[in-house]
Amino acid sequence: EPEVTQTPSHQVTQMGQEVILRCVPISNHLYFYWYRQILGQKVEFLVSFYNNEISEKSEIFDDQFSVERPDGSNFTLKIRSTKLEDSAMYFCASSDTDNYGYTFGSGTRLTVV
Amino acid sequence: AQSVTQPDIHITVSEGASLELRCNYSYGATPYLFWYVQSPGQGLQLLLKYFSGDTLVQGIKGFEAEFKRSQSSFNLRKPSVHWSDAAEYFCAVGDRRDYKLSFGAGTTVTVRA
């Protein structure tokens, strides 16, 4: 069964550093998403991406965050200057349609120290 | 705005016993409703979803859920749990306009022998 692959599975970074979280969506999928889950809290929508542009973003997704599909296979989430409160599990998802046919990756646990 | 409440943070159930996980939602119209499961180190896997029609929905791994509009609920059930059902379960509601999910806080299920 096709999978969404996320790397790394765990990343530790110092506050103020830039991090890039990587995702390889399912190859024929066209819609891409990032969600995050702060420990002990709900999974929250961050951003959706279609046709090489952001289609929607939440209020969490401020200027510190950006997404990119640099080479037609990877889908990345960049945090420019990490804060302690960015520590969370970040989930990537992709879909072949815009009707909730999501497949989620296994997540990247980001720890900011 | 839509929201989801999962009243039970943690449930322990004996192997072979029945399981019911509660989910209540708040949404202005008929929602799209989902149950996801997350096993340790794994991504979010879709168990079942409700869009319309029959209010009793069958999913994978022997799970079912019932949509009750009058109670704003979408409870998940399984008649006989297996040790492999130990995981975290998330209820989610989807907006019919923008295809982003709002998740509940999750219920952790422990299965004892």
Residues B4-59 pLDDT 10s = 999 999 999 999 999 999 999 998 777 899 999 998 877 889 999 998 899 999 99
How many angstroms from the chain centroid is the CA of residue B86?
A: 14
pLDDT, tens digit, 9 for 90 and up, residues B70-94: 999 999 999 999 999 999 999 999 8
Distance (Å) of CA A72 to CA A30, A50, A51, A69, B108: 10, 12, 11, 6, 37
- Give the residue, B44 or A1, on which the prediction is more confident: B44
Partner residue facing B44 (CB), from A41, A45, A104: A104
> Do the Cβ atoms of B99 and B34 come closer than 8 Å?
no
User: Across residues A92-109, what is the average pLDDT?
Assistant: 86
Residues in A closer than 8 angstroms to B9, CB to CB, are none
Distance (Å) of CA B89 to CA A19, A22, A72, B47: 29, 25, 32, 9
Which residue of chain A comes nearest to B103, CA vs CA?
A43
Asked if A68 is an interface residue toward chain B (Cβ–Cβ < 8 A), one would say no
User: Across residues A64-77, what is the average pLDDT?
Assistant: 92
Residue whose C-alpha is closest to residue B93's, from B42, B37, B24, B40: B24
Which residue of chain A comes nearest to B42, CA vs CA?
A106
Asked if A33 is an interface residue toward chain B (Cβ–Cβ < 8 A), one would say yes
∠ CA B87-B88-B93, nearest 5°, is 140
With CB atoms and an 8 Å threshold, state whether A91 touches B90. no
Q: Mind telling me how many Å the CA of A39 is from chain B's nearest CA?
A: 10
- Kindly tell me if the per-residue pLDDT of A17 is higher than 90: yes
